[in-house]
């Protein structure tokens, strides 16, 4: 049930902080701000060599309050390292069958980056929990959802890149299941991060409640 529970928690929250930090202490500060604002999902990017240490530290400090995963996971070796460090989900800018196999083996949700419908369908066939629309969200904007969901309405979409408080409503209306945020949820002190998190969560909850009426 681990994979199902984590996937549902990410989808229910609807937003995720994309984190790159030099120190564990800064990771704590960002995590606390996100939690205070109602967002409990953090992606720790493997663009920095301390990603595994940050994941382990966050899991130890916050426990089940936080869902912590690994981002920029390009290969199966990195995926296994992240999982051993405590990562609860794996996100990548690319699609890798080898990473999918590792994630399925340990029942970890996998969100590969896909730029075409063919890639996205392959990702679903490999067992992906979400399809990360990357980097096309920067080019297509909110309408990227229809590129995938018109032919495959049930495709779960995670979008990141170019999403802000001004266009978030359009992404949610168009059916994005989770939106990734960099600066809004990682810059400033905990109070400033919490305020942005509250604004993000309020928009998501408002639009979803209207859609589900």
Choose between 179 and 136: higher pLDDT. Answer: 179
Q: For residue range 85-114, what is the model confidence (pLDDT) as tens digits?
A: 999 999 999 999 999 999 999 999 999 999
What is residue 183's DSSP assignment?
G
Assess whether pLDDT exceeds 90 at residue 143.
no
Mean pLDDT, to the nearest integer, of 188-196? Answer: 97
Q: What is the DSSP letter of 161?
A: S
Domains of the chain, residue spans: 2-211
pTM (two decimals):
0.95
Cβ neighbours around 112 below 10 Å, total = 29
User: What is the CATH topology of the domain spanning 2-211?
Assistant: TIM Barrel (3.20.20)
Alpha helices by DSSP H, listed for 14-66, are: 24-36, 51-62
pLDDT band at 212 (very low <50, low <70, confident <90, very high): confident
pLDDT at 137: 64
Q: In the numeric block, which tokens belong to residue 205?
A: 């909850």
Q: pLDDT tens digits, residue range 31-70? A: 999 999 999 999 999 999 999 999 999 999 999 999 999 9
Residue 58's pLDDT is what? 98
């Amino acid at each position: 049930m681990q994979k199902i529970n984590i996937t549902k928690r990410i989808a229910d929250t609807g937003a995720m902080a994309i984190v790159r930090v030099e120190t564990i202490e800064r990771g704590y500060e960002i995590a606390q701000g996100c939690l205070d604002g109602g967002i409990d999902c953090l992606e720790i990017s493997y663009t920095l060599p301390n990603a595994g240490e940050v994941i382990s530290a966050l899991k130890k400090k916050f426990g089940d309050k936080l869902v912590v995963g690994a981002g920029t996971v390009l290969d199966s070796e990195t995926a296994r390292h992240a999982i051993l460090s405590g990562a609860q989900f794996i996100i990548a800018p690319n699609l890798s069958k080898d990473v999918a196999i590792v994630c399925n083996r340990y029942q970890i949700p996998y969100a590969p980056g896909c730029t075409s419908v063919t890639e996205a369908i392959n990702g679903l066939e490999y067992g992906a929990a979400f399809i990360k629309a990357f980097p096309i969200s920067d080019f297509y904007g909110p309408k990227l959802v229809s590129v995938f969901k018109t032919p495959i309405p049930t495709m779960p979409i995670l979008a990141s890149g170019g999403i802000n408080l001004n266009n978030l409503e359009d992404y949610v209306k168009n059916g994005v299941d989770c939106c990734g945020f960099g600066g809004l949820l990682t810059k400033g002190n905990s109070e400033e991060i919490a305020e942005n998190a509250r604004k993000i969560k309020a928009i998501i909850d408002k639009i979803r409640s209207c859609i589900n009426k």
